[in-house]
């Protein structure tokens, strides 16, 4: 059965909106302006996304902090209340269960924000399948760690772009400029509704994510669209969300990382904290780190025209060295670019490779990533 966001009825009749199935959800691919206009609006101004399909899983109670810290590769023990962190969650073999955000909402209360397609899998992993739960080393329930899926109760919107701060500053009390990337504040009032406001996103731009009760979402969405209209804010869909994250080299689960692609291969080494004494997958990931990962993520820019699409083979001479994980025609750069998972050590900046488009191979150059980086106005 197709699922719908709490905001579905708010925008389903917008002129020009195109709704598509994504991970079992009926969501907007784009609105009237189209993907390219929405993309550029986020780069130059601000765009509003409905990302309520994301899952929110709460862990609280005695032992919650140490359990979350063991489940993920980043250092959750270092988080203070009101701080968040991006992190992979790994299997013992080093593959990725999901990549997620962890919010520390209290001394023993954590919220995990997970990808929609992985929500059920992550819940099973946390409550049934991971080694600590199966062995009884972690007690779940009223006398231990309480795990609650809050996804149906929570809506999530993202206001992303260089104007996001000034727009929200006009609407909420307090100095939200003081919220640095990843810290968050709760019980903020926006259009009369209570929200959790975090300086996070998935676009490569400054911006905020707004968590609220599902019933509060329509009022907030309408208020932001109406208030932001004069400033040029556009509603944005999944299409722009994908093109923005590729330009910024942000991974998508199932493409740059997966159960078969470790975070070290997917470019997420900074979020794997080997100084932690124990976390799931540490032993295998440490072996890869010390012995050399078999594959690495590289960027290419097409010399010949064409979008390098997911799964296209990449050749260096007469040898296939990798596969495209994601690609697009970059609206900002005006060129065709892609990410390639390649055999370690084979691709270096400036090399010419070929991408197999099926009927023919097309030339590309290995380039540095991210393809686009927000410099905050600095040259």
* Mean pLDDT in residue range 13-26: 97
- According to the model, what pLDDT value does residue 188 have? 97
Q: What percentage of the chain carries pLDDT values higher than 90?
A: 97
Handedness of CA 257, 258, 264, 265 (dihedral sign): negative
* Mean pLDDT in residue range 97-117: 98
For residue 142, what pLDDT band results from cuts at 50, 70 and 90? confident
- What is the rounded CA–CA span in Å between residue 36 and residue 43? 11
Q: What are the structural domains of the chain?
A: 3-51+153-246 (3.30.1360.120), 55-149 (3.30.70.1400), 294-379 (2.40.30.110)
Which pTM does this prediction carry? 0.96
- According to the model, what pLDDT value does residue 1 have? 82
CB 162 within 8 A of CB 13: no
DSSP letter string, 148-208: EE-TTTEEEEEEESTTHHHHHHTTSSS-GGG--SS-EEEEEEETTEEEEEES--SSSS-EE
Whether residue 360 is preceded by a cis peptide bond, meaning omega within 30 degrees of 0, is no
- What is the rounded CA–CA span in Å between residue 185 and residue 181? 12
CA 121, distance to chain mean position in Å, is: 17
For residue 143, what pLDDT band results from cuts at 50, 70 and 90? confident
The token pair at 147 is: 């795990």
How do residues 174-204 score in pLDDT, each as one tens digit? 999 999 999 999 999 999 999 999 999 999 9
CA distances from 206 to 46, 174, 239, 375 (A): 9, 18, 19, 10
For residue 109, what pLDDT band results from cuts at 50, 70 and 90? very high
- According to the model, what pLDDT value does residue 376 have? 63
How do residues 40-60 score in pLDDT, each as one tens digit? 999 999 999 999 999 999 999
- According to the model, what pLDDT value does residue 351 have? 98
For residue 379, what pLDDT band results from cuts at 50, 70 and 90? very low
For residue 377, what pLDDT band results from cuts at 50, 70 and 90? very low
């Amino acid at each position: 059965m197709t699922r719908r966001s709490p905001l579905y009825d708010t925008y389903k009749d917008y002129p020009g909106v195109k709704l598509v199935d994504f991970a079992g959800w009926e969501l907007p691919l784009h609105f009237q302006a189209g993907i390219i206009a929405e993309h550029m609006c986020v780069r130059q101004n601000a765009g509003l996304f409905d990302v309520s399909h994301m899952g929110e899983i709460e862990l609280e109670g005695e032992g919650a902090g140490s359990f979350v810290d063991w489940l993920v590769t980043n250092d959750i023990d270092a988080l203070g209340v009101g701080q968040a962190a991006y992190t992979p969650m790994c299997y013992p073999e080093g593959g990725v269960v999901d990549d997620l955000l962890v919010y520390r909402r209290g001394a023993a209360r954590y919220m995990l924000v997970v990808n929609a397609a992985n929500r059920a899998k992550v819940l099973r992993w946390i409550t049934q399948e991971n080694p600590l739960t199966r062995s009884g080393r972690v007690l779940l329930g009223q006398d231990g760690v309480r795990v609650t899926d809050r996804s149906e109760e929570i809506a999530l919107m993202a206001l992303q772009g260089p104007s996001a701060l000034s727009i929200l500053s006009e609407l909420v009390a307090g100095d939200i400029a003081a919220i640095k990337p990843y810290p968050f504040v709760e019980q903020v009032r926006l259009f009369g509704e209570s929200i959790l406001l975090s300086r996070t996103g998935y676009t490569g731009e400054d911006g905020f994510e707004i968590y609220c009760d599902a019933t509060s979402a329509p009022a907030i969405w309408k208020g932001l669209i109406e208030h932001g209209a004069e400033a040029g804010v556009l509603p944005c869909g999944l299409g722009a969300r994908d093109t923005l994250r590729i330009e910024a080299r942000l991974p998508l689960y199932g493409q740059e990382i997966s159960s078969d692609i470790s975070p070290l291969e997917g470019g997420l080494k900074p979020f794997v904290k080997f100084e932690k004494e124990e976390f799931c997958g540490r032993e295998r990931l440490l072996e890869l780190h010390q012995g050399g990962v078999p594959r690495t993520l590289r960027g290419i820019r097409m010399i010949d025209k064409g979008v390098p699409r997911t799964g296209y083979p990449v050749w260096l001479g007469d040898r296939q060295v990798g596969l495209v994980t994601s690609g697009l025609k970059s609206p900002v750069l005006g060129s065709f670019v892609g990410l390639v998972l390649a055999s370690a050590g084979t691709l270096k900046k400036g090399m010419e490779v070929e991408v197999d488009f099926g009927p023919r191979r097309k030339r590309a150059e290995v380039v540095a990533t991210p393809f686009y980086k927000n410099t905050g106005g600095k040259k």
